Amino acid sequence: MFDVRINNHSTIKSSLLPKLKIVYFLNEIQKTEIYTEHDPELFHSNFHHALSKFPKQIRIEDREIKSGWIIFKFPKNLIGKRVDYYEIIIEDTLGNNSSVICNLIKEIDYGNNKK
């Protein structure tokens, strides 16, 4: 789940589709990637009711700024795999996109003491 802010600097309205690219390690050396789409049906009514949630396809007017939450299903085949990074991609219907890369730290190794 990610909180995003979208700025439409264009003078025309647009429809946008959020995607998540997950880059992960197949083994110690080799990396590969998988894509998943924003799925608003994953929001839970008890836990996410107060959030400003984006629909599957985001419509944004010219010069408009919108903020909201997007959510993705984590692919089961990645459980136990080491993720290198996540890239949130917002793409319009013409194929233009903007993206941001996120790194999540699972653990830090301080020598003998893991935290």
* Domain spanning 2-114, CATH architecture: Sandwich (2.60)
Q: What is the pLDDT of residue 112?
A: 64
Rounded-to-integer distance, Cα 6 and Cα 3, Å: 10
**CB proximity list for 43: less than 8 A, separation 6 or greater:** 51, 53, 69, 71
> Residue 23 has which token pair?
């880059």
pLDDT tens for each residue of 54-84 = 999 999 999 999 999 999 999 999 988 889 9
> Residue 89 has which token pair?
């991609």
The domain limits of the chain are 2-114
Q: What is the DSSP string of 23-47?
A: EEESSSS-EEEEEEE--GGGS-TTT
Average pLDDT for residues 43-54, to the nearest whole number? 90
Q: Answer yes or no: are the C-beta atoms of 55 and 95 closer than 8 Å.
A: no
